[in-house]
Amino acid sequence: MDLSRRHVLAVAAAAPLLQSQANAAAPIADKQAPSFYRYKVGDIQVTVVSDGRNTFPLEESFILNAKKEEVAAALEQAFLPRDMMTIYFAPLVINTGGKLVVIDTGTGPVAKANSKGANGLFADNMAAAGFDAKDVDLVVISHFHTDHVNGLLAADGTPAFPNAEVLVPVTEWKFWMDDGEMSRAPAGRMQGLFKNNRNIFEAALKKKVTPYEWGREVAPGLLAVDSIGHTPGHTSYVLSSGSGKVFIQSDVTNNPNPFATHPGWHAFFDQDADMAEKTRRRVYDMVVAEKLQVQGFHYPFPGLGNVVKDGDGYRVIPAPWNPSI
Ligand SMILES: [Zn+2]
């Protein structure tokens, strides 16, 4: 004990001397590296491309059926700030060998300006990963929330992927393009979402989309599957090639802390909260049973992991960063 304490004191005393001898003039960096991460599923290459994150104060209204204090306690248990919530965003670029496919597009250039670069980074990070938006063949959309569709447009309002076919879930398309649904939607957030979707899909893309059904491949090796509740047409995917398989969950849960650990908590953004919970438990029981890797749009970057059952909830165990591909 005494010896180790003396050792620590000796190191502490020596440290300033060492620093003065080192090249201490290097500036302190204020930016993270452009964030993208590659891995393979059989012959298919997946590149997870970060769109950034959104951090905001935890409000009483964030989760409808849990008290703010309970949510704060869950965050603290995960070694996170108890009064702040962070949501990450990570679209995918998938190279099937024949097709370059983007799944979801991030919060878009307007959000990048408004958030001062905290999010809306998909286009920049995609370019940093060596991709040209003009080379994208297919853009597959999981559902019509702003963090998934707003990156369909460039800063000047023109299509961000000018040569791509845009694929949308048919049920999602019907809901958001239905004038009756729009007129019945509550004022505020839901009306705003309808307006945003009409602006993107009608005004900018002139309805040039290809609706797709569940149970079909939307791109080579990419099977679309129903995971409704978060929105009426919310879609997940099974990507498979050879013996490789990964479940691309989209928004079955948001950030695993606290939404995987507390699958019964209903966030304000789940449109049909009971159905979203049912889907969450069904999907997570399936990926646990099949030991299937999950790629999560809102998981902390790079968002690949496995799920284990933990009491009434689940825990996501991140896959180790692999320096080789
Ligand atoms: Zn989302």
- Using CB atoms within 10 A of its CB, is residue 196 exposed (0-12), middle (13-18) or buried (19+)? middle
Cβ atoms of 68 and 58 within 8 Å: the answer is: yes
CA 235 to chain centre: 13
The pLDDT confidence band at residue 25, using thresholds 50, 70 and 90, is confident
Q: Half-sphere exposure of residue 58, counting CA atoms within 13 Å on the CB side? A: 21
Average pLDDT over residues 197-224: 97
Q: How far is CA 319 from CA 204, 249, 260, in A?
A: 38, 15, 16
Alpha helix segments (H runs only) across the chain: 2-21, 68-77, 108-114, 122-128, 146-149, 170-176, 179-184, 189-198, 256-259, 273-289
Compute φ and ψ for 110, nearest 5 degrees.
Answer: -65, -40
Summarised one tens digit per residue, pLDDT across range 279-303 is 999 999 999 999 999 999 999 999 9
295/245 Cα distance (integer angstroms): 11
Q: Please tell me what DSSP assigns to residue 263.
A: T
Q: Ligand 1 centre and the CA of 218: distance in Å?
A: 20
Q: Ligand 1 centre and the CA of 47: distance in Å?
A: 18
Q: Ligand 1 centre and the CA of 28: distance in Å?
A: 33
Cβ atoms of 49 and 89 within 8 Å: the answer is: no
Q: Ligand 1 centre and the CA of 57: distance in Å?
A: 18
Q: What is the pLDDT of residue 33?
A: 92
Structure token pair of residue 219: 């791109």
Q: Ligand 1 centre and the CA of 138: distance in Å?
A: 20
Q: Ligand 1 centre and the CA of 119: distance in Å?
A: 13
Q: Ligand 1 centre and the CA of 220: distance in Å?
A: 24
Q: Ligand 1 centre and the CA of 60: distance in Å?
A: 20
Q: Ligand 1 centre and the CA of 19: distance in Å?
A: 45
Q: Ligand 1 centre and the CA of 130: distance in Å?
A: 25
SS (H, E, C) 10-56: HHHHHHHHHHHHCCCCCCCCCCCCCCEEEEEECCEEEEEECCEEEEE
Q: Ligand 1 centre and the CA of 7: distance in Å?
A: 51
Q: Ligand 1 centre and the CA of 267: distance in Å?
A: 12
| Residues paired with residue 100 on neighbouring β-strands, in sequence order | 95
Using CA atoms of 228, 232, 234, 235 in order, give the dihedral in degrees to the nearest 10: 70
Q: Ligand 1 centre and the CA of 8: distance in Å?
A: 47
In whole numbers, what is the pLDDT of the chain averaged over residues? 94
Q: Ligand 1 centre and the CA of 56: distance in Å?
A: 15
- Give just the sign of the alpha carbon dihedral 287, 58, 172, 164: negative
Cβ atoms of 50 and 90 within 8 Å: the answer is: yes
Ion ligand 1 contact residues with beta carbon within 5 A: 147, 251
Residues in the chain: 325
User: What percent of the chain shows pLDDT beyond 70?
Assistant: 93
The pLDDT confidence band at residue 22, using thresholds 50, 70 and 90, is low
pTM: 0.93
Q: Ligand 1 centre and the CA of 89: distance in Å?
A: 7
Q: Is the pLDDT of residue 104 over 80?
A: yes
Q: What is the pLDDT of residue 60?
A: 96
Q: Ligand 1 centre and the CA of 16: distance in Å?
A: 47
Average pLDDT over residues 128-152: 98
55/58 Cα distance (integer angstroms): 9
Q: Please tell me what DSSP assigns to residue 201.
A: I
Q: Is the pLDDT of residue 17 over 60?
A: no
